[in-house]
């Protein structure tokens, strides 16, 4: 079959219809509210399709977390059909049909190939682009990113409509950009992160022509808003596939663009301990997500930026700065640099810094009761355990605090020697190290090199 050569329809092929009996999508797996929306649009005479990640995940046997609908009805027409509907967006208006806590997003087919983030609504001089907004279903398919994300499940006959070869790519578990990869990445650099993230999430391979331009184009991520990079980071690392995401970012040369300080600090750390620590933490994060346990962005970023923090701390100490002061400065410096790339809100950056700054209290073993009552104690302790996983330097501290946690209301356990205040004295090993000056490379995952007084 001939493929389309019209450049405005780059990537589009002839329509393939996969009938109900040839695919596994069952209405039982679709949210009842999404079905309601689809049926009502159909009954009003409009085309109504489930689209995007939901179709992809259903074809893979997964359970989509949200269901997006595409239609040829305009947003106003959609609003006319649903009482529980609100319109959002300026240039490209979307309809949100609200069912309690579930929102079904209904988008009119569109032709333009922006990223849907709303960032490109305004052009030079603040001119609002209004031309060429709505389109056909075929145009809607080719403006999407990957072929696997551009399939349409039609409520009319329960078939899957495929304009870009996505059905075959899903069977082959391949992630392939629609159209010319370099052009699509320049249009929206976040697609590079999406490639790595979706490959990690789905266990897909990235088609070589889709993967090939990424390392060179990675610096384009600097043009992306920090708010969007924050959202994308949470999806990369808090969706249960953080290890695969991190390794994918490394493999495709994206880590220096997304987390420049972390990438640099890991490169400088010849023993590899800092990288081991990050990976151990991400493995832990994945296990928590799998067990439905809470994961916090503050802890995540404390982990991702720990190499950067250790390195900054070491540099400040090498300049002769007092340890406690160096810790505060290092935390601030790393946070300020992070914000240039990723807009981590203060409600997460403050706990991140606290987790770092509390680390030195574990080896001091002073004012145990007060430390236990600190609202961030648990997070800081979990962080210490991770550091121990990557280097056994902290075994004694972990053992001590694990014992304290077992009997939080009892006096501090022996056999630690007590100092003149009756508090357990810090281990002598640390005192010796403090005299030795700064180590030559970023310390083992065990850094900070010396602890606060």
Residues within the interface to Mg ion (CB under 5 A): 53
Q: Is residue 188 at the binding interface for ligand ATP, with CB under 6 A as the rule?
A: yes
Cα–Cα separations (whole angstroms), residue 254 to 187, 189, 356? 17, 11, 25
| Catalytic annotation, pick one of 43, 66, 392, 419 | 66
- The DSSP annotation for 129-189 comes to P-TT-B--HHHHHHTSSBGGG-EEEETTTS-EEESSSHHHHHHHTEE-BSS-HHHHHHH-T
Tell me the window of 77-85, 96-104, 141-149, 296-304 that interacts with ligand ATP (CB under 6 A): 141-149
Nearer to Mg ion by Cβ, of 59 and 279: the residue is 59
Q: Is residue 275 at the binding interface for ligand ATP, with CB under 6 A as the rule?
A: no
Nearer to Mg ion by Cβ, of 53 and 135: the residue is 53
What letter would DSSP give residue 220? G
Cα–Cα separations (whole angstroms), residue 410 to 331, 365, 385, 414? 34, 15, 22, 11
- The separation between the first and the last C-alpha atoms of the chain, rounded to the nearest angstrom, is 75
Helix or strand run (H / E) with residue 219: none
Partner interacting with residue 144 (select from ligand ATP, Mg ion, none; CB below 5-8 Å by kind): ligand ATP
List 9, 25, 48, 53, residue binding ligand ATP (CB under 6 A): 53
Q: Is residue 116 at the binding interface for ligand ATP, with CB under 6 A as the rule?
A: yes
Nearer to ligand ATP by Cβ, of 60 and 416: the residue is 60
Contacts of 100 (CB under 8 A, 6+ apart): none
Q: Is residue 191 at the binding interface for ligand ATP, with CB under 6 A as the rule?
A: yes
Contacts of 187 (CB under 8 A, 6+ apart): 113, 114, 115
Number of Cβ atoms within 10 Å of the Cβ of 185: 23
Sign of the CA dihedral with 436 first, then 437, 439, and 440 last:
negative
Tell me the window of 127-135, 183-191, 280-288, 349-357 that interacts with ligand ATP (CB under 6 A): 183-191
Nearest distance from residue 418's CB to ligand ATP, in Å?
A: 54
Nearest distance from residue 157's CB to ligand ATP, in Å?
A: 22
What letter would DSSP give residue 114? S
Nearest to 357 by CA among 313, 390, 402, 401: 313
Q: Which residue has tokens 């007084």?
A: 453
Given a contact cutoff of 8 angstroms between Cβ atoms, the answer to whether 184 and 191 are in contact is yes
Token digits of residue 149: 């994300």
CA dist 275 and 70 (Å) reads 43
Residue 101, classed as helix, strand or coil, is coil
Q: Which residues pair with 120 in a beta bridge?
A: none
| Catalytic annotation, pick one of 68, 140, 207, 284 | 68
Given a contact cutoff of 8 angstroms between Cβ atoms, the answer to whether 167 and 151 are in contact is yes
Whether 145 sits among the annotated catalytic residues: the reply is yes
Partner interacting with residue 145 (select from Mg ion, ligand ATP, none; CB below 5-8 Å by kind): ligand ATP
Nearest distance from residue 211's CB to ligand ATP, in Å?
A: 17
Nearest distance from residue 130's CB to ligand ATP, in Å?
A: 20
Q: Count of residues binding ligand ATP (CB under 6 A)?
A: 13
List 71, 149, 353, 391, residue binding ligand ATP (CB under 6 A): 149
Contacts of 347 (CB under 8 A, 6+ apart): 298
Partner interacting with residue 162 (select from Mg ion, ligand ATP, none; CB below 5-8 Å by kind): none
Nearest distance from residue 145's CB to ligand ATP, in Å?
A: 4
Nearer to ligand ATP by Cβ, of 289 and 398: the residue is 289
Q: Which residues pair with 134 in a beta bridge?
A: 110
Tell which positions 205-264 bind ligand ATP, by CB under 6 A. 235
Partner interacting with residue 188 (select from ligand ATP, Mg ion, none; CB below 5-8 Å by kind): ligand ATP
Whether 14 sits among the annotated catalytic residues: the reply is no
Whether 421 sits among the annotated catalytic residues: the reply is no
| Catalytic annotation, pick one of 57, 145, 188, 286 | 145
Nearest distance from residue 67's CB to Mg ion, in Å?
A: 9
Nearer to ligand ATP by Cβ, of 16 and 360: the residue is 16
Tell me the window of 78-86, 162-170, 185-193, 412-420 that interacts with ligand ATP (CB under 6 A): 185-193
Tell which positions 152-181 bind ligand ATP, by CB under 6 A. none
Nearest to 33 by CA among 81, 67, 76, 73: 67
Nearer to ligand ATP by Cβ, of 149 and 335: the residue is 149
Nearest distance from residue 183's CB to ligand ATP, in Å?
A: 12
Tell which positions 54-83 bind ligand ATP, by CB under 6 A. 68
Cα–Cα separations (whole angstroms), residue 24 to 18, 46, 58, 226, 316? 10, 25, 8, 39, 59
Active-site residues, by number, are 66, 68, 145
Contact residues for ligand ATP, defined by CB under 6 A: 52-53, 68, 115-116, 144-145, 149-150, 188, 190-191, 235
């Amino acid at each position: 079959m001939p493929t389309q050569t019209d450049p405005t329809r780059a990537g589009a092929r002839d329509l393939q219809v996969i009938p109900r009996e040839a695919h596994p999508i069952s209405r039982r797996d679709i949210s009842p509210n999404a079905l309601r929306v689809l049926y009502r649009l159909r009954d009003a005479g409009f085309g109504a399709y489930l689209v995007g990640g939901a179709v992809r995940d259903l074809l893979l046997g997964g359970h989509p977390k949200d269901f997006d609908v595409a239609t040829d009805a305009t947003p106003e027409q959609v609003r006319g059909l649903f009482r529980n509907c609100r319109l959002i967006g300026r240039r490209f208006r979307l309809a949100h049909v609200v069912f309690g806590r579930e929102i079904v997003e209904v988008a009119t087919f569109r032709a333009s190939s922006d990223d849907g983030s709303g960032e490109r609504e305004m052009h030079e001089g603040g001119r609002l682009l209004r031309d060429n907004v709505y389109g056909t279903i075929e145009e809607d398919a080719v403006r999407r990113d990957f072929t696997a994300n551009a399939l349409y499940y039609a409520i009319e006959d329960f078939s899957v409509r495929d304009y870009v070869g996505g059905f075959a790519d899903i069977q082959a578990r391949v992630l392939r950009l629609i159209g010319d990869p370099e052009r699509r990445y320049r249009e929206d650099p976040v697609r590079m992160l999406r490639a790595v993230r979706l490959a990690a999430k789905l266990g897909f391979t990235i088609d070589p022509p889709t993967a090939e331009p990424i390392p060179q184009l990675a610096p384009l991520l600097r043009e992306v808003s920090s708010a969007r990079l924050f959202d994308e980071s949470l999806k990369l690392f808090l969706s249960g596939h953080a290890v695969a995401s991190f390794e994918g970012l490394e493999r495709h040369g994206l880590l220096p663009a997304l987390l420049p300080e972390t990438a640099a600090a890991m490169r400088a750390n010849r023993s590899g301990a800092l990288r081991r620590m990050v990976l151990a933490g991400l493995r832990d994060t994945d296990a928590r997500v799998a067990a439905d346990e809470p994961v916090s962005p503050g802890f995540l970023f404390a982990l991702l930026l720990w190499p950067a923090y250790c390195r900054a701390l070491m540099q400040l100490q090498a300049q002769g700065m007092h340890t406690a002061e160096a810790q505060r400065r290092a935390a601030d410096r790393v946070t300020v640099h992070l914000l240039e790339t990723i807009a981590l809100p203060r409600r997460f950056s403050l706990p991140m810094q606290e987790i770092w700054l509390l680390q030195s209290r574990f080896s001091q073993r002073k004012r145990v009761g007060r430390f236990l009552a600190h609202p961030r104690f648990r997070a800081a302790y979990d962080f210490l355990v991770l550091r121990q996983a990557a280097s056994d330097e902290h075994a004694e501290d972990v053992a001590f605090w694990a014992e304290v946690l077992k009997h939080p209301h009892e006096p501090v356990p022996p056999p630690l020697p007590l100092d003149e205040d009756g508090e357990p004295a810090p281990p002598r090993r640390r005192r010796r190290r403090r005299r030795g000056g700064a180590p030559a490379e970023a310390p083992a995952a065990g850094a900070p090199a010396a602890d606060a007084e």
